[in-house]
Amino acid sequence: MCAGRSVARNVSDALAFIAEAAAQNAAYVQTPECTTLMEVDTDRLMAETKPEKDNESLAAFCATASMRKIWLHIGSMAVKVGERRLANRSYLIAPDGEIRARYDKIHMFDVDLGNGDVYSESVNYQAGSSAVVADLPWGKLGLTICYDLRFPALHRALAKAGAAFLAGPAAFTRVTGEAHWHTLLRARAIETGTFVLAAAQGGRHENGRETFGHSLIVAPWGEVLAEGGTEPGVVIAEIDPHRIDAARSKIPSLTHDRAFEIVEAHPLQLEAVVK
Protein backbone atom coordinates (compact mmCIF):
# COMPACT_ATOMS: atom_id res chain seq x y z
CA MET A 1 0.00 0.00 0.00
CA CYS A 2 0.85 3.68 -0.17
CA ALA A 3 -1.43 4.89 2.61
CA GLY A 4 -2.27 8.58 2.84
CA ARG A 5 -3.93 10.99 5.25
CA SER A 6 -7.54 9.83 4.68
CA VAL A 7 -8.63 6.89 6.80
CA ALA A 8 -11.67 6.24 4.60
CA ARG A 9 -9.60 6.11 1.42
CA ASN A 10 -6.94 3.91 3.00
CA VAL A 11 -9.54 1.44 4.26
CA SER A 12 -11.20 1.40 0.84
CA ASP A 13 -7.85 0.70 -0.84
CA ALA A 14 -7.05 -2.05 1.67
CA LEU A 15 -10.42 -3.73 1.19
CA ALA A 16 -9.95 -3.73 -2.59
CA PHE A 17 -6.55 -5.41 -2.29
CA ILE A 18 -7.91 -7.91 0.26
CA ALA A 19 -10.68 -8.82 -2.18
CA GLU A 20 -8.11 -9.23 -4.96
CA ALA A 21 -5.99 -11.55 -2.80
CA ALA A 22 -9.03 -13.59 -1.80
CA ALA A 23 -10.01 -13.92 -5.45
CA GLN A 24 -6.59 -15.52 -6.02
CA ASN A 25 -7.47 -18.09 -3.33
CA ALA A 26 -5.34 -16.59 -0.58
CA ALA A 27 -6.27 -18.18 2.75
CA TYR A 28 -4.18 -15.75 4.84
CA VAL A 29 -3.94 -12.08 3.86
CA GLN A 30 -1.66 -9.53 5.52
CA THR A 31 -1.70 -5.74 5.15
CA PRO A 32 1.23 -3.40 5.98
CA GLU A 33 1.98 -1.38 9.08
CA CYS A 34 -0.11 1.82 9.29
CA THR A 35 -2.84 0.36 7.06
CA THR A 36 -5.43 2.96 8.01
CA LEU A 37 -3.34 6.14 8.27
CA MET A 38 0.10 7.60 7.49
CA GLU A 39 0.22 10.92 9.33
CA VAL A 40 3.09 12.90 10.87
CA ASP A 41 1.10 15.84 12.25
CA THR A 42 0.31 14.94 15.87
CA ASP A 43 -2.96 16.90 16.09
CA ARG A 44 -4.33 15.35 12.90
CA LEU A 45 -3.10 11.93 13.97
CA MET A 46 -4.95 12.17 17.27
CA ALA A 47 -8.09 13.56 15.63
CA GLU A 48 -8.25 10.79 13.02
CA THR A 49 -7.48 7.88 15.37
CA LYS A 50 -10.25 6.12 17.30
CA PRO A 51 -10.31 3.64 20.20
CA GLU A 52 -10.75 -0.04 19.39
CA LYS A 53 -14.29 -0.09 20.72
CA ASP A 54 -16.76 0.84 17.97
CA ASN A 55 -13.91 1.42 15.51
CA GLU A 56 -15.48 1.56 12.04
CA SER A 57 -12.28 0.60 10.23
CA LEU A 58 -11.75 -2.47 12.39
CA ALA A 59 -15.42 -3.43 11.98
CA ALA A 60 -15.02 -3.24 8.19
CA PHE A 61 -11.99 -5.52 8.32
CA CYS A 62 -13.80 -8.03 10.53
CA ALA A 63 -16.76 -8.01 8.14
CA THR A 64 -14.59 -8.62 5.08
CA ALA A 65 -12.72 -11.47 6.77
CA SER A 66 -16.06 -13.10 7.45
CA MET A 67 -17.40 -12.42 3.96
CA ARG A 68 -14.24 -13.65 2.22
CA LYS A 69 -13.72 -16.57 4.64
CA ILE A 70 -10.04 -15.72 5.10
CA TRP A 71 -7.58 -15.19 7.91
CA LEU A 72 -7.05 -11.44 7.73
CA HIS A 73 -4.04 -9.93 9.44
CA ILE A 74 -4.16 -6.15 9.65
CA GLY A 75 -0.43 -5.48 9.88
CA SER A 76 -1.07 -2.52 12.11
CA MET A 77 -3.37 0.41 12.67
CA ALA A 78 -3.23 3.21 15.20
CA VAL A 79 -5.80 2.90 17.99
CA LYS A 80 -6.35 5.40 20.76
CA VAL A 81 -5.56 4.09 24.25
CA GLY A 82 -5.55 7.43 26.08
CA GLU A 83 -6.45 11.08 25.58
CA ARG A 84 -3.19 11.75 23.69
CA ARG A 85 -1.77 8.24 23.53
CA LEU A 86 -1.93 5.60 20.81
CA ALA A 87 -0.99 1.96 20.28
CA ASN A 88 0.47 0.67 17.02
CA ARG A 89 -1.58 -2.53 16.99
CA SER A 90 -1.83 -5.63 14.80
CA TYR A 91 -5.06 -7.60 14.53
CA LEU A 92 -5.43 -11.21 13.43
CA ILE A 93 -9.02 -11.80 12.36
CA ALA A 94 -10.45 -15.29 11.78
CA PRO A 95 -12.75 -16.33 8.91
CA ASP A 96 -15.71 -16.00 11.27
CA GLY A 97 -14.94 -12.29 11.68
CA GLU A 98 -13.71 -12.61 15.27
CA ILE A 99 -10.44 -11.07 16.45
CA ARG A 100 -8.15 -13.93 17.50
CA ALA A 101 -5.02 -11.96 18.41
CA ARG A 102 -3.82 -8.43 19.13
CA TYR A 103 -0.22 -7.30 19.24
CA ASP A 104 1.10 -3.86 20.22
CA LYS A 105 4.45 -2.96 18.68
CA ILE A 106 7.16 -3.39 21.31
CA HIS A 107 10.12 -1.51 19.86
CA MET A 108 9.61 2.19 19.17
CA PHE A 109 11.26 3.75 16.13
CA ASP A 110 13.09 6.69 17.72
CA VAL A 111 15.95 7.47 15.33
CA ASP A 112 17.78 10.26 13.55
CA LEU A 113 18.89 8.98 10.15
CA GLY A 114 21.28 11.88 9.71
CA ASN A 115 19.75 13.13 6.46
CA GLY A 116 17.08 15.32 8.03
CA ASP A 117 14.73 12.39 8.68
CA VAL A 118 13.93 12.17 12.39
CA TYR A 119 11.38 9.70 13.77
CA SER A 120 10.10 9.77 17.36
CA GLU A 121 7.44 7.09 17.55
CA SER A 122 7.42 7.00 21.35
CA VAL A 123 6.14 10.59 21.49
CA ASN A 124 2.68 9.47 20.37
CA TYR A 125 2.70 5.70 20.80
CA GLN A 126 2.71 3.50 23.87
CA ALA A 127 5.06 0.55 23.49
CA GLY A 128 3.71 -2.95 23.95
CA SER A 129 5.19 -5.30 26.52
CA SER A 130 4.02 -8.75 25.37
CA ALA A 131 5.16 -10.95 22.50
CA VAL A 132 2.27 -12.78 20.83
CA VAL A 133 1.87 -16.12 19.05
CA ALA A 134 -1.49 -17.09 17.56
CA ASP A 135 -2.90 -20.28 16.10
CA LEU A 136 -3.49 -20.60 12.37
CA PRO A 137 -4.77 -23.81 10.74
CA TRP A 138 -1.25 -24.45 9.39
CA GLY A 139 0.78 -23.65 12.52
CA LYS A 140 1.46 -20.83 14.94
CA LEU A 141 2.05 -17.25 13.80
CA GLY A 142 4.43 -14.92 15.64
CA LEU A 143 3.47 -11.26 15.42
CA THR A 144 5.93 -8.40 15.01
CA ILE A 145 5.77 -4.93 13.45
CA CYS A 146 8.42 -3.04 11.43
CA TYR A 147 11.24 -1.88 13.76
CA ASP A 148 10.83 -5.13 15.73
CA LEU A 149 12.64 -6.71 12.76
CA ARG A 150 15.95 -5.40 14.10
CA PHE A 151 15.64 -7.39 17.34
CA PRO A 152 16.47 -11.04 16.61
CA ALA A 153 15.89 -12.09 20.22
CA LEU A 154 12.17 -11.37 19.80
CA HIS A 155 11.94 -13.53 16.68
CA ARG A 156 13.92 -16.34 18.28
CA ALA A 157 11.65 -16.25 21.33
CA LEU A 158 8.57 -16.46 19.09
CA ALA A 159 10.04 -19.41 17.18
CA LYS A 160 10.96 -21.20 20.41
CA ALA A 161 7.37 -20.59 21.56
CA GLY A 162 6.19 -22.58 18.55
CA ALA A 163 5.87 -20.03 15.75
CA ALA A 164 6.13 -21.61 12.31
CA PHE A 165 5.47 -18.28 10.60
CA LEU A 166 6.69 -14.81 11.52
CA ALA A 167 4.79 -11.72 10.41
CA GLY A 168 6.73 -8.50 9.81
CA PRO A 169 4.35 -5.89 8.37
CA ALA A 170 6.24 -2.65 7.96
CA ALA A 171 6.58 0.92 6.77
CA PHE A 172 10.37 0.88 6.36
CA THR A 173 11.89 4.16 5.22
CA ARG A 174 13.38 4.17 1.74
CA VAL A 175 16.88 4.83 3.13
CA THR A 176 16.87 2.00 5.68
CA GLY A 177 14.94 -0.31 3.39
CA GLU A 178 17.43 -0.04 0.56
CA ALA A 179 20.25 -0.88 2.99
CA HIS A 180 18.74 -3.52 5.26
CA TRP A 181 15.23 -4.77 4.38
CA HIS A 182 16.06 -7.90 2.39
CA THR A 183 19.01 -8.85 4.58
CA LEU A 184 17.10 -8.56 7.85
CA LEU A 185 14.04 -10.49 6.66
CA ARG A 186 16.11 -13.30 5.17
CA ALA A 187 18.24 -13.45 8.32
CA ARG A 188 15.19 -13.76 10.59
CA ALA A 189 13.86 -16.61 8.40
CA ILE A 190 17.20 -18.45 8.36
CA GLU A 191 17.87 -17.99 12.08
CA THR A 192 14.49 -19.38 13.09
CA GLY A 193 13.64 -21.82 10.28
CA THR A 194 10.32 -20.06 9.71
CA PHE A 195 8.42 -18.49 6.86
CA VAL A 196 8.61 -14.69 7.16
CA LEU A 197 5.66 -12.76 5.74
CA ALA A 198 6.16 -9.02 5.42
CA ALA A 199 3.67 -6.68 3.76
CA ALA A 200 5.11 -3.19 3.35
CA GLN A 201 4.16 0.39 2.64
CA GLY A 202 5.88 1.74 -0.47
CA GLY A 203 6.23 4.97 -2.40
CA ARG A 204 5.94 8.65 -1.56
CA HIS A 205 3.10 9.36 0.86
CA GLU A 206 0.91 12.42 1.24
CA ASN A 207 2.78 13.31 4.42
CA GLY A 208 5.94 13.75 2.32
CA ARG A 209 7.77 10.69 3.61
CA GLU A 210 8.93 7.84 1.41
CA THR A 211 8.79 4.14 2.23
CA PHE A 212 10.72 1.30 0.61
CA GLY A 213 7.99 -1.17 -0.35
CA HIS A 214 9.20 -4.57 -1.61
CA SER A 215 6.77 -6.74 0.34
CA LEU A 216 8.45 -10.11 0.80
CA ILE A 217 7.54 -13.72 1.46
CA VAL A 218 10.66 -15.60 2.59
CA ALA A 219 11.05 -19.37 3.02
CA PRO A 220 12.73 -21.02 6.05
CA TRP A 221 15.94 -21.65 4.07
CA GLY A 222 16.13 -17.96 3.17
CA GLU A 223 14.81 -17.94 -0.41
CA VAL A 224 12.54 -15.09 -1.44
CA LEU A 225 9.36 -16.74 -2.72
CA ALA A 226 7.61 -13.52 -3.77
CA GLU A 227 8.45 -9.84 -3.84
CA GLY A 228 6.57 -6.65 -4.57
CA GLY A 229 7.92 -3.34 -5.77
CA THR A 230 7.03 0.20 -4.78
CA GLU A 231 3.64 0.28 -6.51
CA PRO A 232 0.55 -0.79 -4.50
CA GLY A 233 -0.67 -4.27 -5.27
CA VAL A 234 -0.97 -7.88 -4.15
CA VAL A 235 1.99 -10.22 -3.58
CA ILE A 236 1.11 -13.89 -3.29
CA ALA A 237 2.89 -17.23 -2.83
CA GLU A 238 1.99 -20.82 -2.03
CA ILE A 239 3.34 -21.94 1.35
CA ASP A 240 4.38 -25.52 2.11
CA PRO A 241 4.57 -25.86 5.93
CA HIS A 242 6.61 -29.08 5.58
CA ARG A 243 9.57 -26.90 4.60
CA ILE A 244 9.82 -25.69 8.19
CA ASP A 245 10.69 -29.11 9.61
CA ALA A 246 13.01 -29.73 6.66
CA ALA A 247 15.00 -26.56 7.34
CA ARG A 248 15.11 -27.08 11.09
CA SER A 249 16.23 -30.68 10.76
CA LYS A 250 19.20 -29.55 8.67
CA ILE A 251 20.18 -26.70 11.00
CA PRO A 252 18.57 -27.36 14.43
CA SER A 253 19.98 -24.18 15.98
CA LEU A 254 16.79 -23.52 17.96
CA THR A 255 17.76 -26.51 20.12
CA HIS A 256 21.44 -25.65 20.47
CA ASP A 257 21.30 -22.71 22.89
CA ARG A 258 23.99 -22.76 25.56
CA ALA A 259 24.30 -20.59 28.62
CA PHE A 260 27.31 -18.29 28.64
CA GLU A 261 28.70 -15.30 30.42
CA ILE A 262 30.57 -12.30 29.11
CA VAL A 263 34.02 -11.88 30.60
CA GLU A 264 35.98 -8.67 30.23
CA ALA A 265 39.61 -9.47 29.54
CA HIS A 266 42.11 -7.77 31.83
CA PRO A 267 44.49 -5.43 29.97
CA LEU A 268 47.47 -7.44 31.23
CA GLN A 269 45.97 -10.60 29.80
CA LEU A 270 45.63 -8.96 26.41
CA GLU A 271 49.24 -7.73 26.61
CA ALA A 272 50.44 -11.21 27.41
CA VAL A 273 48.61 -12.62 24.41
CA VAL A 274 50.09 -10.00 22.10
CA LYS A 275 53.60 -10.78 23.30
Catalytic residue among 2, 39, 146, 210: 146
The reply to whether 146 belongs to the active site is: yes
Catalytic residue among 2, 33, 34, 80: 33
The reply to whether 2 belongs to the active site is: no
- Cα–Cα distance for residue pair 172/205, rounded to 1 Å: 12
The reply to whether 33 belongs to the active site is: yes
Catalytic residue among 2, 62, 105, 210: 105
- Residues serving a catalytic function are 33, 105, 146
